[in-house]
Amino acid sequence: MAAHDTPASASLVGLHRENFQGEIDGRAVDLFTIKNSRGMVVRLTNYGAKIVQIIVPDRNGVPGDVALGYDSLEAIRHGQASMGSFIGRYAGRIAGGRFAFEGRDYVLARNAGENFLHGGLKGSRFVVFSARHLDRSRLEMSYVFKDGEEGFPGTVPLRVVYSVSEENALAIDYTAVAADKDTLVNFTDHTFFNLSGQGGTSILDHTVLVNADRFLPISQMSVPTGELRDVAGTPLDFRTPSAFGARIYANDEQISLGNGYDHHFVLNKKHEGEFSLAARAADPKSGRVLEVCSTEPGMQLYSGNFLEGQAPRDVGKGGAVYKFRSGFCMEPSHFPDSPNHPNFPSTVLRAGQWYAGRIAYRFYVME
């Protein structure tokens, strides 16, 4: 499908499919496009199942790109590894890169200081998924995690379906099965957003609502302490909309430890697996609103604290420089470091058991 057939706007960078085509580990990489009839367009590469571009209109109907990303496969490989990726087999941090499971100690890569992070040295961020269009608005990606891959037990086939609806929502439906052994799984999407449509500009004036009464405090190692703390009276209280920048410089231990917001929230759920509101973000200038719904029990809120404006890692589409706090992430998932905290929702998947989850990003404009 053509990758440059969207109405142009002053800030919209056209992507060229040939710049994303290549071969990694003997597997073909390409750029894929899904869309609806209203002008919403989503582009992805099967390298890391990364979302590269999301085009939606502002309050004046002008299309803009609200996802940070890169304009070639080479740039992606030199860029922020998590940007736009579907994360597995285990999203988030695991303290010390180790856990005990069924009487055995498992040692993982320490790829984020002393911790394991986002699948390890070659998690799903760095592998080539099989990909095929189901129709104009739906794309399937699949990958099989092998027994022992990145230190985890068991073979786990994963299927991810991206679909764009006529309501300007991007749904991500994922299923996985423990094919042969008991194992652990935790999945999320790691798209970086900037609702202004101007990559590289500050997100501190974006307002945020998070449907959570509690969050997970982190240690100096940036992993959960095990406590589930009330957000009331803290800079992490987003139960009513507040700008990212309103409290991000507060004299608060958790803000200091996260270098801003890099915390997991315990989403308010009526029952396990409920598909419900996780968060909402809005840009007052463009009028764009992002609503995030999910079946997952928690959500990581990240305020782009490790975007540094450094080439080549932080130079994105059209030469936009992704500076400090110029993008944010809302990553629904199970809690980080769950294997080391029995009080957290379990991430165990028993042999023969299936796991299914859904994340949906819906875009609309303010009244």
User: How many residues are listed for the chain in this entry?
Assistant: 367
Spatial CB neighbours of 78, under 8 Å, sequence gap ≥ 6:
312, 313
Token code pair at residue 81: 């590894």
Beta sheet of 41-45, edge-to-edge order: 31-35, 41-45, 50-57, 63-65
Kindly list the catalytic residues. 190, 331
**Euclidean distance between CA atoms 124 and 64, whole angstroms:** 28
How many helices and strands in the chain, by DSSP H and E?
Answer: 3, 28
Query: Strand pairing partners for 22?
Result: 29
**Is there a contact between 300 and 192 (Cβ–Cβ < 8 Å)?**
no
DSSP state letters, 120-175: STTSGGGSBPEEEEEETTEEEEEEEEPTTGGG--S-EEEEEEEEE-TTSEEEEEEE
Report CA Rg, the chain.
19
**Phi and psi (nearest 5°) for 246?**
-65, -40
